[in-house]
Amino acid sequence: MRTVIYQYYDGETTSGNEAGRRAMDQYATKIGSEYIYEQDPYWREDLGRYSPHYGTFKPIYTDEFYEFDYLMYADTDVFPREGLDENIFEEFAATGADVGICEEWNAPEARKRYTIGGGINNANDEKWCDTIKEVYGAEMPRTKSGLPKVYNSGMIVWSREGMQKARDQFLKFASFQAVVKGAGLPDFYTCDQPYIHAMLEICDFNWVTMPYKWNSSVHYDPGQRSSPRPILDLRDEDYNFVHIQLNGADNWDADKLHRVTNLPTEEWFL
């Protein structure tokens, strides 16, 4: 089984991004995977403010990546836990799926209570689901309480067959964005995350929700603006990857990010 981990970054790199890619490179070596990092690929520049995010999909349209049986994409702010030797590709291969992605299990309820960033909330999630159903005929997944599920594109794992299906069947990025914009939705809903979420259903992929341990999040409480701002640490005891979604963390040094990845929150800033 030949595997590869792919990462990239468009723009001036920071200490945090450098630390993240070095940590992921070390993980790749440990599990016997190849590792490819690209600085400033600028794969797409015609998709508005979220153009850089669509670099996530570059391997799908690049022949060289089809030499691998499995590929994992990860953002550079996704950090492997120290000493991790569990092989994500072996776990994914055992599912027989074409695509694996992690759920943001806390996001539906948070978006019901708050508006996050530029208009990310439950009302717009519902409007987005209605648009996908009306235009493409796909019913988007929902939680047990009936809220639209949210999936995070910061870590996606593919089989070669899944990549080929995506290459053959994915809708054009710009046409998807035009539909979303036409519905009057905020720009966030035109980015890579809602896109991959929609494509998995529209194109009827054989996809699997990967265990949350592969994309555990730590981020600030969206409902609080006090200083110091409360941190939500959503890791379970068996977490493997930590998605450090803390404003400013891109500029932290490797030692601090190592503490965030591996220690309880009360020890991060010692």
Largest Cα–Cα separation, the chain: 52
pLDDT of residue 270: 56
Per-residue confidence band for 25, with pLDDT thresholds at 50, 70 and 90: very high
More confident site: 265 or 165: 165
**How far is Cα 41 from Cα 39, in angstroms, rounded to an integer?**
6
**How far is Cα 136 from Cα 86, in angstroms, rounded to an integer?**
38
| 177 CB-near residues (< 8 Å, 6+ apart) | 47, 48, 190
* Average pLDDT over every residue of 210-238: 90
The closest alpha carbon to 190, from 46, 44, 50, 60, belongs to 50
Q: Which two tokens stand for residue 60?
A: 């799908």
Q: Count, in order, helices (H) and strands (E) of the chain.
A: 8, 10
**How far is Cα 217 from Cα 104, in angstroms, rounded to an integer?**
8
**Chain centroid to CA 8: how far?**
13
Please, what is the Cα angle at 250 between 246 and 252, to 5 degrees?
Answer: 95
* Average pLDDT over every residue of 243-258: 96
Fold classification of 3-103+151-171+202-267 is Spore Coat Polysaccharide Biosynthesis Protein SpsA; Chain A (3.90.550)
> 85-106: per-residue pLDDT in tens?
999 999 999 999 999 999 999 9
**Separation in Å, CA 19 to CA 38, 77, 255:** 15, 9, 9
> 50-90: per-residue pLDDT in tens?
999 999 999 999 999 999 999 999 999 999 999 999 999 99
Contact 79, 241 (CB under 8 A): yes
What predicted TM-score, i.e. pTM, was given to this entire model? 0.96
The closest alpha carbon to 111, from 70, 143, 150, belongs to 150
pLDDT of residue 50: 95
Sign of the C-alpha dihedral computed for residues 253, 117, 197 and 107 taken in this order:
positive
**How far is Cα 130 from Cα 127, in angstroms, rounded to an integer?**
5
pLDDT at residue 262 greater than cutoff 80:
yes
> 139-181: per-residue pLDDT in tens?
999 999 999 999 999 999 999 999 999 999 999 999 999 999 9
* Average pLDDT over every residue of 212-227: 89
More confident site: 47 or 226: 47
**How far is Cα 265 from Cα 35, in angstroms, rounded to an integer?**
30
